[in-house]
Structure 1
């Protein structure tokens, strides 16, 4: 067992340009649904929102996707059980489960992230010139590789698992180190070209200002990719309206502007599509000079201070913000709503999104050209009804709290699985993913089997922050013992080559994906009809026969909503808020990551529309989310007191029945 402190050492790319400029490495994942989610440099940790220096590339892909050796070499290290800290400065490794358990006993009390679900695997390959390629985030205890064996470019060295302290999505981290131990970055800017990538000389473009010609070229790629590839571009907004929007935005690109400003022009267009899977991201997120000082929540129609990040509370918790820099809060909220993208587009859903302090902060940044000012003047009404004006400085990297306050309402979004026995009759199971990797499946099955054995009469299934995934049949088999005869249609825009794939980061220009799809007379696009196999939704083992209550919310997306709907159809009672995803259709399964010209902006573009042919239900209105049987909203008091009033209501409801 080994512990390495300060393992991340940054060195200039140019030290290695001569060594690697001509070396082409095989892209480490299969073609398809993979994307770079973090590039080297100063970033924010996507989970904790804390400043992070990363020297490697994080690439997300479907759980279990094979990972390839990028070049010939020798296996220099295989570690089956690895834990890494959120700041990437602390690493614990062991090749035995007992070693991991001993380490967790030693350090776990002081390191809350030191948990079994954060374990991953690591493989290192030593190349001919003495450098090492390191892969982290592999499925733990999954590889049969041993140290010292030869390996060829393209050999499978593991499968994509989770790097949970960095991403909720399955992902790997890949880095390159020299024989002397210093770490250099391995670049992936060209991995869509011939399925290869080269050593990167600099981090993307890193340009501060782009010319109007460069941005018009990027905008052209953006528009043409959407029009050619998106299967539901005109589902919520007509072609006529989109043509008008595209034209008006293009006219605004007549002067040089920053990447952030250009991104702020594109995001309202994306929001108009009404699709949670269509969004923009940066290859290299622009470095924030400042960080917002407060956690704010829009709840009960008011903007409330939930906490300060340093705990000093110069502005008292519970204060209402009525203006920021003399701009009324209503005006600020309306500006933020323009940037909000999702399947469900109601005002109510948008306000539910802004209830979460971390989402409020993200949309506030979007509405301000991805920038935070050095200070803000807040006009407030204190809890004792005094009206005050208080100016707060924003944080810098050096002043940002080392252990910032994180409100409970943010923390409760992070755990994929939680279980508790509320009393003799009620069990609580929180599941916030539909990507069920092997260890998670085993754990959930053990929980459900224990509930059945204990003869619990009621089960609360919490899906409020379930973002979806690729597998709903696994969980439905544990709770549903009948088949719902839904015919599933899949639709794409073309069944031959997409011309915009020449700009794609995860497909090559000649890839053809949907040859098995066919034209249907009178319908746009190409279609595939799939009759679900009834055996697919029936569990072979014993299933839970008690009463199920499902907690839902605006953070529930994609197949998370489909799962909740299947439980509802099986007789479950729905409590909470309308889901963020809709049931009858979802744009999912296949995605292209399209790089917009010379900029570092990437368009995540779904290529497949999945349509469920089901009878319209009053609880499942068309183009809306699943409507709860009992609508219960979060309150100011419940958030400030770290209480869960929705769960409390559900428990009371069960007790009454």
Structure 2
């Protein structure tokens, strides 16, 4: 069950034809025993996309189609739009018993705890079936055949007293789909309609939407004041509201809202605008100049040039349309989104490669720009539609290592290769791995435990499943992982006023009732949902060699945590650049999708601050990502011309030079009692005191021993 509300149209739309699926209740005909279908109401709730099907308890439930298992869980439906899910290890029956032992049964009816399985079909659609019990053992990534046993019928939703299952279908893009037509049934499903946005907003409409979002940030987003001071917040509101004093186009208002998710205000790796960019060029409608510009540090220069202007490559720019280079760089820094707190690495990369930001991302119209270089020469750049000019030099092709790896990451979740007799490379491009993939990675590591060095490449890993991350960590941990002060924090354990505008929560929902207040601290607290304190070494596979982890600003969320756990346990070194997610915390896990009522713009706001560690020192300064042990600065060559992997080569050179772990930055050390007392002197004093105590104990034993005997 996916807790998402969507806007409904009031009319049915034509749907594509499907190959007929097998009705999941064994021994019954398609359409039999349906107790609720789409567009029906269940205790006052609109059933938008689910089929609830009655079946005698214990009836076998079959797979409707060939496919791949993509999700497994124990579900509890609080409402048709809200579910709590628990992970499954072993059988549904065993997992349900574990949940019953741990869950607060005063808040749920355990009768309606049930197994759920998600199956991806060959066309990308997914079928979800809950209300399952059974002793079958599944893994995500397993292939399954039409008619295979999934489990037995139980209870899926508390609104129904009789045993039943719940079935839903989603499109390849993850949106709700028709659950009836695939079974050859006349459908009652109504597809979600396209959101209609206004062309113009009045001052009243724009100001209302803006203020709703500002209030939502403060109310919902627990890391908000880690990022922005109250003074900065007031200044942003003042500046933005000044732009909303007269009618404003939808496009320009979108820019105002977008700026609130950037360096200008609430930037975060898990906060985003869901509404597409209206300034985004349509295919064939993009204009580009003959010169593309980028920045490293305080230098703005030509990164690419069309044929005929390649003699200008690398030239330093003094001003662009009379805006100084320093002002341009300052401006584009302020346009960065998708990074945490004080992380700097993403700003550095985008300043170099995201030339479009220099022009406010507005590429749909022709323009002429005047580029003045530091040698006082000028170039008048007349823009043309993409494809009408010459080729850019250098070309960003498969020959450039960075782009080759990026393209490969789209189709490969992981890769493993031997680099030489002593070193192997494990590339993990995502932690959204199924169980079979994780097993395959662990098996491959097990085949190479004799290798002295393993390089783990997380540079293009945006994160993923905590369970996959923890399983792989267990292969590298030597002993149970270091105990950290981990916790989760939210702003309230009641409902939120801003849920009035949420697409996936309503105001009757209090999603964090289990969170408790701590005296003297703001917010409400619970145990972390990112637990890494109790990761124990894998009982079957352990890699004992040296571990070098490659990181970048594109190493986010679980990828940052993975590297941080091994660094914190003094088990690996990192090479490359600062991670995109902050070391000390990540704001994620649960999200509210806020839709502004007038513009219909949607903003994805994280609700839970997950604190990974509260130790702050030179190795892990607060607000920064995980900094590399061995830094490789951003260079023009890496992103535009290098056919070799510069960061990987740095790791190999460290291995060749025998450079690995240094002093443990997290080890507790005794401080000198005075500026003149040496460690050796302290050691001698301790030995003297211990010797004296031992002597006293011996004397005491002799005296009292004689009296006793």
Closer/same/farther in 2, CA of residues 568 and 313 from structure 1, 3 Å limit: farther
Instruction: Quote the offset at 1:361 in angstroms.
Output: 4.9
Q: Is the CA contact 2:492–2:512 (under 8 Å) kept in the aligned structure 1?
A: yes
- Out of 426, 429, 434, the position equivalent to 1:429 is 426
Instruction: Quote the offset at 1:317 in angstroms.
Output: 9.1
Q: Does 1:80 align with 2:67?
A: yes
Q: Which residue of 1 aligns with 2:347?
A: 350
Q: Which residue of 2 aligns with 1:277?
A: 270
Instruction: Quote the offset at 1:337 in angstroms.
Output: 1.5
Closer/same/farther in 2, CA of residues 224 and 567 from structure 1, 3 Å limit: same
Between the aligned partners of 2:657 and 2:121, the Cα distance in structure 1 is 42
- Out of 414, 418, 433, the position equivalent to 2:415 is 418
- For structure 1, the residue ranges without an aligned partner over 5 or more in a row are 1-12, 32-66, 83-117, 126-137, 164-170, 181-185, 187-195
Q: Which residue of 2 aligns with 1:237?
A: 228
Q: Is the CA contact 2:345–2:579 (under 8 Å) kept in the aligned structure 1?
A: no
Closer/same/farther in 2, CA of residues 251 and 613 from structure 1, 3 Å limit: same
Q: Which residue of 2 aligns with 1:373?
A: 365
Q: Which residue of 2 aligns with 1:593?
A: 593
**Deviation sequence 1:226-253 (CA, Å, 0-9, x none):** 1211112112322243134223322321
Helix, strand or coil at the partner of 2:438: helix
- Out of 458, 461, 480, the position equivalent to 1:463 is 458
Between the aligned partners of 1:580 and 1:533, the Cα distance in structure 2 is 20
- Out of 372, 383, 389, the position equivalent to 1:392 is 383
**Deviation sequence 1:465-491 (CA, Å, 0-9, x none):** 322223131221121122111131111
Q: Is the CA contact 2:461–2:556 (under 8 Å) kept in the aligned structure 1?
A: yes
Closer/same/farther in 2, CA of residues 79 and 567 from structure 1, 3 Å limit: same
Between the aligned partners of 1:267 and 1:505, the Cα distance in structure 2 is 19
Greater Rg by CA? 2
Instruction: Quote the offset at 1:412 in angstroms.
Output: 2.4
Q: Which residue of 2 aligns with 1:253?
A: 244
**Deviation sequence 1:548-570 (CA, Å, 0-9, x none):** 11112222222322211112123
Instruction: Quote the offset at 1:305 in angstroms.
Output: 5.4
Q: Is the CA contact 1:78–1:122 (under 8 Å) kept in the aligned structure 2?
A: no
Between the aligned partners of 2:556 and 2:459, the Cα distance in structure 1 is 9
- For structure 2, the residue ranges without an aligned partner over 5 or more in a row are 1-8, 16-36, 55-61, 70-119, 128-138, 158-163, 659-709
* Mapping for residues 51-130 of structure 1, pairs under 5 Å: 69=50, 78-80=65-67, 122=124
Q: Which residue of 1 aligns with 2:650?
A: 649
Between the aligned partners of 1:177 and 1:376, the Cα distance in structure 2 is 53
Q: Is the CA contact 2:397–2:403 (under 8 Å) kept in the aligned structure 1?
A: no
Q: Which residue of 2 aligns with 1:172?
A: 174
Q: Which residue of 1 aligns with 2:556?
A: 557
Normalising by structure 2, we get a TM-score of 0.63
Helix, strand or coil at the partner of 2:589: strand
Q: Is the CA contact 2:486–2:613 (under 8 Å) kept in the aligned structure 1?
A: yes
Closer/same/farther in 2, CA of residues 600 and 546 from structure 1, 3 Å limit: same
Between the aligned partners of 2:212 and 2:391, the Cα distance in structure 1 is 38
Q: Which residue of 2 aligns with 1:538?
A: 537
Helix, strand or coil at the partner of 2:603: strand
Instruction: Quote the offset at 1:642 in angstroms.
Output: 2.9
Between the aligned partners of 1:520 and 1:177, the Cα distance in structure 2 is 46
Q: Is the CA contact 1:561–1:581 (under 8 Å) kept in the aligned structure 2?
A: yes
Closer/same/farther in 2, CA of residues 207 and 264 from structure 1, 3 Å limit: same
Normalising by structure 1, we get a TM-score of 0.67
Q: Is the CA contact 1:235–1:273 (under 8 Å) kept in the aligned structure 2?
A: no
Q: Is the CA contact 1:77–1:123 (under 8 Å) kept in the aligned structure 2?
A: no
Between the aligned partners of 1:610 and 1:230, the Cα distance in structure 2 is 12
* Mapping for residues 191-210 of structure 1, pairs under 5 Å: 198-200=190-192, 203-210=194-201
Between the aligned partners of 2:439 and 2:422, the Cα distance in structure 1 is 23
Between the aligned partners of 1:487 and 1:159, the Cα distance in structure 2 is 41
Q: Is the CA contact 1:576–1:632 (under 8 Å) kept in the aligned structure 2?
A: yes
Between the aligned partners of 2:611 and 2:552, the Cα distance in structure 1 is 22
Between the aligned partners of 1:317 and 1:26, the Cα distance in structure 2 is 66
Instruction: Quote the offset at 1:499 in angstroms.
Output: 1.7
Q: Is the CA contact 1:81–1:121 (under 8 Å) kept in the aligned structure 2?
A: no
Q: Does 1:481 align with 2:478?
A: yes
Q: Does 1:521 align with 2:482?
A: no
Between the aligned partners of 1:501 and 1:397, the Cα distance in structure 2 is 48
* Mapping for residues 323-342 of structure 1, pairs under 5 Å: 324-325=320-321, 327-341=323-337, 342=339
Instruction: Quote the offset at 1:612 in angstroms.
Output: 2.8
Q: Does 1:438 align with 2:435?
A: yes
Between the aligned partners of 1:408 and 1:385, the Cα distance in structure 2 is 35
Q: Is the CA contact 1:300–1:635 (under 8 Å) kept in the aligned structure 2?
A: no
Q: Is the CA contact 1:375–1:394 (under 8 Å) kept in the aligned structure 2?
A: no
Instruction: Quote the offset at 1:68 in angstroms.
Output: 6.9
Q: Is the CA contact 1:517–1:527 (under 8 Å) kept in the aligned structure 2?
A: yes
Instruction: Quote the offset at 1:302 in angstroms.
Output: 4.3
Between the aligned partners of 1:313 and 1:558, the Cα distance in structure 2 is 44
Q: Is the CA contact 1:321–1:329 (under 8 Å) kept in the aligned structure 2?
A: no
Q: Is the CA contact 2:425–2:457 (under 8 Å) kept in the aligned structure 1?
A: yes
Instruction: Quote the offset at 1:292 in angstroms.
Output: 5.2
Helix, strand or coil at the partner of 1:605: strand
Closer/same/farther in 2, CA of residues 492 and 441 from structure 1, 3 Å limit: same
Closer/same/farther in 2, CA of residues 408 and 122 from structure 1, 3 Å limit: same
Instruction: Quote the offset at 1:419 in angstroms.
Output: 2.4
**Deviation sequence 1:334-393 (CA, Å, 0-9, x none):** 2222122321435565123334x3xx156456x34x5543345473879x9996444331
Helix, strand or coil at the partner of 2:575: strand
Q: Is the CA contact 2:220–2:491 (under 8 Å) kept in the aligned structure 1?
A: yes
Between the aligned partners of 2:275 and 2:631, the Cα distance in structure 1 is 37
Closer/same/farther in 2, CA of residues 584 and 15 from structure 1, 3 Å limit: closer
- Out of 198, 208, 217, the position equivalent to 2:208 is 217
Between the aligned partners of 1:522 and 1:530, the Cα distance in structure 2 is 20
Between the aligned partners of 1:238 and 1:566, the Cα distance in structure 2 is 30
Between the aligned partners of 1:573 and 1:378, the Cα distance in structure 2 is 46
Q: Is the CA contact 1:465–1:555 (under 8 Å) kept in the aligned structure 2?
A: yes
Q: Which residue of 1 aligns with 2:160?
A: none
